[in-house]
Structure 1
Amino acid sequence: MGELVVGVDLGTQGVRAVVSDLGGHVLGQGHAPLTSNRNARTRKRFFGRDGDRHEQDAERWWQAVGTAVHTALDAAPDRPVLGVATCATSGTVVLTDDALRPKLPALMYDDLRARDHRVLDKIDPAVWDRLGVRPQPSWALGRIAWLRDQEPDGLVLHQADFVTGRLAGHAVAADTSHALKSGADPVTRSWPEEIRAELGPLPELARPGAVLGEVCATAAEHTGLPLGTPIIAGMTDGCAAQLATGALEVGSWNSVLGTTLVVKGVTERRITDPDGSVYSHLSPDGHWWPGGASSIGAGVLGSAFPGRDLAELDAAAPLREALGCVSYPLAGRGERFPFVRPDAEGFTLGEPRDELERYAATLQGVAFVERLCFEHVAGLGAPVGDTIRVTGGAVRSAAWTQLRADVLGRALELPEVAQPAFGMAVLAAASTSGRTTADAAREMVRVARVFEPDARVGAALEPGYQRLRRSLLDD
């Protein structure tokens, strides 16, 4: 019989909650869906997707949090809860009044209406030099400025800030992880004056893992969390996934292959990328977590092979054989990592013999880009160890995961529980028990399977990788 911790993950499509003990045993889970349907309307307001526009109702986030957390706690044994931590999508923001009631629909991380906002042009580049980042038009900074243009008054909150504030019953500090893409300085936990001048009042800042407050009576009734439960400052969903993998030592990396590809690792010093494709979060333990997000990923399979049984293709395609073609399988337009090219488009060099070879070239192409990503961060001075933790929907394909191990020439370790919500449970456990996150993860995270690289396959695929690499460099 031991204490429990609760992790909450606010995704685009739903909210997930996990209840874990301090040994990493998941004792309860809950889920509640969110919608981003085109032309969905609530109270005569637009909520959904429409071209560059993507909005959600922040009140729906809170309703879903209540459902998911209640469900998870109901399934778990009745034990003391040490703390709750929340992660959310990076760059999603909402404007509220002082009572934390939304004044406008929330702008999701991929709402692109602010990409041409001139706020970036108004900020001295020396600010970004001090912060060690190169802001992109897709960052939250522009969306905050866009919201201020619509409504000058009110509180600007990141998605996680809104939920932690509702849990406390009043506005609380924002964690520096969710605020990174809004221009926050994670070292000093402050906002540069130049950014305040452009964006107006911004929330106070706290380090991830800090105690922000306690669950109030209203939130306790809404979620089932005990009154007075400590509220722990979280991190973005990408960082939460890193925590869930336990890859928290210097030189450790997590590669998340879902719709897109995200890699994140651990370094002693902040990594600066002149191209802006890599940016670094400051971890609760004081290490830096550099990473980047490519537009390459498993999302291309739905459009390239609609309606096909991917498991059948895995079994039949020559995934680990040298091919006469090589693919850069970018589904849409634009690339963010390992290089920044808004005009990038996918291509195939050579002609696949049939659908099976085209499928193999697609999976190999994603693995090749993944290798490029790791070579890029290594070239910037980040250590990359001999093993990499892997998560994301693509790990359901053992054949593809083995291919990735062969191409990377590294063992790939698949964690037993890889949900971002579980990563927040790890963070809550570390914060409330006085341990480092690395120590907490060692006790809570377990590896379910290891994929060892086959050097012979790696050698056979090397010419294809070099062909793609030369093509991208020449471009």
Structure 2
Amino acid sequence: MSSAPRRTAVTSPAVIGVDVATASVRAVCVDGRGRVLAEAREDLPAPVRTAPGTGEQDARTWWPAVRSALRRTTAALPRGGREVTAVAVSATSGTIVPTGADGAPLGPALMYDDRRAADLNAEAQRAGSARWDALGLSVGPTAALGRAVWCLRTYGAALSRVLHTPEVIGRELTGHPVPVDWSHALKTGYDARTEQWPHEVFDALGLPPALLSDVRAPASEAGTVGPRAAEATGLPEGCSVRLGMTDGCAGQIATGAVEPGRFVGVLGTTYVLKGVSEQLVRDPAGAFYSHRHPEGWWLPGGASNTGGECLAEVQPDRLPALDAAAEARGPASYVRYPLCRDGERFPFVSGPARGFRLGAPRDEADAHRAALEGVAFVERLALERVGRLGVAVRGPLYAAGGGSRSSVWTAIRATVLDRPVRVAERAETAFGAALLAATGTLHENLAASAAAMAGGGALIEPVAAERPALDDAYGRFTEELRTRGWLPDGPR
């Protein structure tokens, strides 16, 4: 199923961002001021699990979906696509495809959550421990690095390249192989600090570096649209093809948080904090890890196991009424850590961590309010951890994700943080990819693209009258975490 494209009558130069997600492809065309001129969506087949811990998708479906979304987007433009200056592609982090000499897939794409090479990733972690320590990250069970080795051992001499999703699309757009950006290459082992593949790890695993592409900075040019792709998509021949970033990074860029000190809290099923720092942030606990900014800074971030999931049992149509009741009652009468899973990974790392309540709710509104406050406490703890790691957080916190559509929740977050929260207008991967496409084409650099295109968004101020009660509740929250041994002793 595909969605109908949207259009406006604007004819200024434009760029297109493409998001190849798990379930669909989205293309968004915007002008240099960030106005959406047209957009379209095409569905992808659901990934399949051929065995426990695996995740596969037919990579041959990606280009037809991208081609169709681009064709429908350009057809909706006043000049039929001739106004498009550049295009950039973003995708899921760590999805890879084994390909032959002609660039065609030898088998299905191995998705970002595929764990079939967990043992190889453990070996990679040991072989490159000094490198990973210097980078402040670890090679997890789902890392693409181990799966690249698995591809070599499975396909042997037939394997010519292991490609990331944007490389597959970039080859179709340009008609030749393209480099990979250092964001998509991160989970395949690329060391953005030294700007090299981890040769000692590759040697230990028997992985030839030639199986992976050259790496360049996001937003740099990978080539131009060739005649076949131009005819298929409606893009003008010679249109610049720029390198994108992973979906999470592109979503951050879409908010406008692209300069040092700017951070965004993404409140979806789980809570994610992302930001920009001038220097690489190394977190000894492993709760934080960093992508590399297109212009050489760093993008530290961490993902909690807590977030909007704590409201999963509430029917969506009841949320507005509960929000209104929670706003009317004020701060909750008790403290709740609304962790629905076993263990926490950010802003602290603890396998034994479990959700808890200090007290009991007086009514449903009280329980709802306590859940909203509990997630806000996690966010404050995350920002305090950023500060202890030496990163200054400047200005308002940008807010994105489904939870940020709740004005009550956003006001609670602003009050707990004692910091204004700016709700991003379009915190979408495709929009972030469009900002990358505009960098070096419509605008001089990424900061200029964000300033011109990302928009302001609603600014929510703290509620001063509620601050003392929430400060007290936050103190009880963190004290309980320390009492249980989950949160190390530190500044209170």
Counterpart residue number, 2:178 = 172
After superposition, the Cα gap between the structure-2 partners of 1:328 and 1:139, relative to the gap in structure 1 and judged at 3 Å, is farther
Q: 2:39 aligns with which of 22, 25, 29?
A: 29
Return the match for 1:184 from 175, 190, 200: 190
Query: What pairs with 1:96-111 in structure 2 (closer than 5 Å)?
Result: 96-111=99-114
Q: 1:136 aligns with which of 129, 136, 140?
A: 140
- Gaps spanning 5+ residues in structure 1: where? 38-46
CA shift at 1:93, angstroms? 1.7
1:155 aligns with 2:161: yes
Q: Is the 8 A contact 2:327 2:408 kept in 1?
A: no
Q: 1:135 to 1:287 in 2, by over 3 A?
A: same
Distance 1:452 1:91 in 2: 37
Letter paired with 2:301: G
Indicate whether 1:114 and 2:114 are aligned: no
Alpha-carbon separation, structure 1, partners of 2:132 and 2:169: 29
Q: CA deviation at 1:433?
A: 3.9
Q: 1:401 to 1:65 in 2, by over 3 A?
A: same
Residue 284 of structure 2 corresponds to: 274
Q: Which residue of 2 aligns with 1:91?
A: 94
Q: Which deviations, in whole Å up to 9, do the C-alpha atoms of 1:65-90 show, x marking residues without a partner?
A: 12222222222221432111111111
Determine helix, strand or coil for the equivalent of 2:378: helix
Residue from 405, 408, 412 that aligns with 2:417:
408
TM-score normalized by the length of structure 1: 0.91
Answer yes or no: is 1:430 the counterpart of 2:439: yes
How many residue pairs get matched? 465
Query: For the Cα contact (< 8 Å) 1:405–1:452, is it kept in 2?
Result: yes
Cα displacement string for residues 356-410 of structure 1 (whole angstroms, at most 9, x for unaligned residues):
3222222111111111111111110111113111111112211111111111111
In the alignment, the residues of structure 1 paired with residue 342 and residue 166 of structure 2 have an alpha-carbon distance, to the nearest angstrom, of 29
Give runs of aligned pairs for residues 18-417 of structure 1, distance below 5 A: 18-36=28-46, 47-48=48-49, 51-78=52-79, 79-117=82-120, 118-152=122-156, 153-197=159-203, 198=205, 199-200=207-208, 201-302=211-312, 304-306=313-315, 309-317=318-326, 321-342=330-351, 344-417=353-426
Q: Determine helix, strand or coil for the equivalent of 2:339.
A: strand
Q: 1:4 to 1:146 in 2, by over 3 A?
A: same
| Amino acid aligned to 1:250 | P
> What secondary structure is seen at the aligned counterpart in 2 of 1:19?
strand
The 1:321–1:156 alpha-carbon spacing in structure 2 relative to 1, beyond 3 Å, is: same
Shift of 1:121: 4.3
- In 2, Cα distance between equivalents of 1:470 and 1:154: 55
Q: Could you tell which deviates more after superposition, 321-330 or 224-233?
A: 321-330
Q: Is the 8 A contact 1:36 1:49 kept in 2?
A: no
The worse-fitting range, judged by mean Cα deviation, of 59-68 and 112-121 is 112-121
Distance in 2 of aligned mates of 1:326 and 1:51: 38
Deviations 1:182-208 (Å, cap 9, x if unpaired)?
211224432021232223322211111
RMSD over aligned Cα, in angstroms?
2.2
State the Cα distance separating 1:136 from its structure 2 match: 3.0
By how many angstroms is 1:34 displaced? 2.5
Task: Provide the secondary structure at the position in 1 that maps to 2:440.
Answer: helix
Structure 2 contact 265–271 (Cα < 8 Å) conserved: yes
Q: Do the aligned partners of residues 327 and 62 (structure 1) sit closer, same or farther apart at CA in structure 2, a change above 3 Å counting?
A: farther
How far residue 251 of structure 1 moved from its aligned partner, in angstroms, is 1.0
Deviations 1:401-440 (A, max 9, x none): 1111111111111233222211111111112246011012
CA contact (8 A) 2:332 2:367 kept: no
Instruction: Provide Cα deviations, 1:113-137, integer angstroms capped at 9, x if missing partner.
Output: 3334433344131121343433333
Q: Tell me how far 1:310 sits from its aligned partner.
A: 1.3
Secondary structure, counterpart of 1:232 in structure 2: strand
Using the alignment, how far apart are the partners of 2:105 and 2:320 within structure 1?
44
CA distance, structure 2, for counterparts of residue 291 and residue 8 of structure 1 = 23
Query: Percent sequence identity over matched residues?
Result: 44
Structure 1 window deviating more from structure 2 (343-352 vs 286-295): it is 343-352
Confirm or deny: 8 A CA contact 1:92 1:140 kept in the other structure.
Answer: yes
3-state SS of paired residue (1:231): strand
Between Structure 1 and Structure 2, the one with more strand by share is: 1
Contact 1:325 1:349 in 2 (8 A): yes
In structure 2, what is the equivalent of residue 40 of structure 1? Answer: none
Specify every segment of 5 or more residues in structure 2 that has no aligned partner in the other structure, as ranges. 1-10, 487-492
Tell me, what secondary structure is at the counterpart of 1:213? strand
